[in-house]
Amino acid sequence: MNFYSLNQQAPNVSFKEAVIKGIAPDRGLYFPETITVLPNDFFNRIEECSNQEIAFLAIQQFVGKDIPEEALKEILADVLDFDFPLVEIEDDVAALELFHGPTLAFKDVGARFMARCLGYFSTKTTKDVTVLVATSGDTGGAVANGFLGVDGVKVVILYPSGKVSDIQEKQLTTLGRNITALEVEGTFDDCQNMVKTAFLDKELVQNMQLTSANSINVARWLPQMFYFLFAYKEMKSKAKDIVFSVPSGNFGNICAGIMAQRLGMPCTHFIASTNVNDVVPRYMDTGTYAPKASIATISNAMDVGDPSNFIRIRHLYKDSFEELSNNLTSYSFTDKETREAMLKLYNDYTYVADPHGAVGYLGLKKYQQTHPDTYGIFLETAHPVKFLDVVEDTIRENIDLPDSIVKVMDKKKKSIKISEYTELKDYLLDK
């Protein structure tokens, strides 16, 4: 399997090269040359398959020969060692909980998969790899945990100062060893732009092997297909058409869901639910894509003004607005609406949702107003404890801290403050 740049100005590469490079030399995102639909028999008997078997069949065609089958199966068994429960909220609504991994966020799957792929590749080369990643919240902690102690890999995480929760900050600034956190005076978009600029910096590229662990990296993006397939396995017996509502920031997660659909997963529709950072909802209303500066919200992991992965989604539909509109709807919601949804979920169903999951719930309910004969699954992407102040203030109840969070909160934060790209470059070259 080869991957090509969506900017069409760079050579095609293998899965291994795409993972190590992160982004193409022409600054384009890598995309697989082919997508082979899985056999109907697989979906007919999917409930007989283990999660590891489902994941292997989904990802193997994209990995190809770069990781042998047995090694890939070992990686997947290691990555998928926690649960992905579906919790029924209403008759036609369920929450897919993706926060039961080590850092209590959906990004654990992609981060761990990528870390183990790079770990496998690093045993075949003597050149160290530096993973450069921007985070708006959960990516940093998931990447830090996934790559901690991986030989031959150094991790540098950029995060916007004062714009992540206390727990999120602790998760990415307290590990040490091969993990370094850079605290950026600015927004997530500033962090992301610094990362993209680094990949185009000839001096850096000549002196070190850089890769990205954001969802622009194929090894972070593609494994997110797994839990959509797991959800279908659980809900296959439902008579109604299945729709997914995905809280969306950089749009890698929902793009992976659409990829699972392209593999043959029966699914009627996707809802991209956002906060007031509404670039995609406005695009779906007007047909005009107009990035803008991001706005801080209580669902901070979605505070993205120029979502990187939306170009992959458009490419999947050959940039046909009509075809995309037939399969994707997008809504935006305010912090006030988000809090109201969190309170409703708690008061009516005793379900504690984090702000991102609440946005997903809002999008699903809005879609079902005009599509009542659907079974809706909204993604609950982070444990509510990661947004402790917002959640407790909203539902007016205290929630228990998991042991893993109690341990990290006692650790001392270590970060390096920067405000300009030159400071990032100097740090990387100095190291």
Question: Which domains occur in the chain, in start order?
Answer: 83-105+221-398 (3.40.50.1100)
**CA angle centred on 392, ends 388 and 393, rounded to 5°:** 115
Q: How confident is the model at residue 229 (pLDDT cuts 50, 70, 90)?
A: very high
pLDDT given at position 280: 98
pLDDT given at position 123: 67
Residue 125 in this model has a pLDDT that exceeds 70 = no
Q: How confident is the model at residue 226 (pLDDT cuts 50, 70, 90)?
A: very high
Q: pLDDT digits over 159-205, tens only? A: 999 998 888 899 889 988 899 999 999 998 899 899 989 988 999 98
CA 162/CA 184 separation, integer angstroms: 9
Q: How confident is the model at residue 237 (pLDDT cuts 50, 70, 90)?
A: confident
Residue 294, sorted as left (phi over 0), alpha (psi -120 to 50) or beta, turns out to be beta
Q: How far, CA to CA in Å, does 41 sit from each of 18, 50, 230?
A: 31, 15, 16
Mean pLDDT of the chain: 93
With a CB cutoff of 8 Å and minimum separation 6, the contacts of 81 are none
**CA angle centred on 245, ends 242 and 248, rounded to 5°:** 150
The model's pTM is: 0.90
Q: Is the model more confident about 58 or about 386?
A: 58
Q: Is the model more confident about 166 or about 34?
A: 34
pLDDT given at position 410: 83
Inter-axis angle of helices 166-173 and 138-147, nearest 10: 30
CA 5/CA 27 separation, integer angstroms: 8
Residue 380, sorted as left (phi over 0), alpha (psi -120 to 50) or beta, turns out to be beta
Three-class HEC string of 273-314: EECCCCHHHHHHHHCCCCCCCCCCCCCHHHCCCCCCCHHHHH
Residue 126 in this model has a pLDDT that exceeds 60 = no
Q: pLDDT digits over 258-302, tens only? A: 999 999 999 999 999 999 999 999 999 999 999 999 899 999 889
pLDDT given at position 68: 97
Task: Tell me what the mean pLDDT of segment 93-121 comes to.
Answer: 93
pLDDT given at position 167: 86
Q: How confident is the model at residue 345 (pLDDT cuts 50, 70, 90)?
A: very high
Percent of the chain with pLDDT over 90: 76
Q: How confident is the model at residue 58 (pLDDT cuts 50, 70, 90)?
A: very high
Task: Tell me what the mean pLDDT of segment 308-325 comes to.
Answer: 96
Count of alpha carbons within 13 angstroms of residue 365, beta-carbon side: 16
Residue 17 in this model has a pLDDT that exceeds 80 = yes
Residue 420 in this model has a pLDDT that exceeds 60 = yes
What's the CA dihedral at 157, 160, 163, 166 to 10 degrees?
40
SS3 content of the chain, % helix, strand, coil (to 5): 50, 15, 35
Residue 373 in this model has a pLDDT that exceeds 80 = yes
Neighbour count for residue 146 (Cβ, 10 Å): 28
pLDDT given at position 122: 78
Neighbour count for residue 79 (Cβ, 10 Å): 24
Buried b (16+ CB within 10 A) or exposed e, 148-185: bebebbbbbbbbbbebbbebbbbbbbbbeebbbbbbbe
Inter-axis angle of helices 107-122 and 138-147, nearest 10: 30
Residue 29 in this model has a pLDDT that exceeds 90 = yes
Q: How far, CA to CA in Å, does 383 sit from each of 94, 127, 164, 278, 345?
A: 16, 37, 14, 24, 15
Residue with structure tokens 């082979």? 36
pLDDT given at position 279: 97
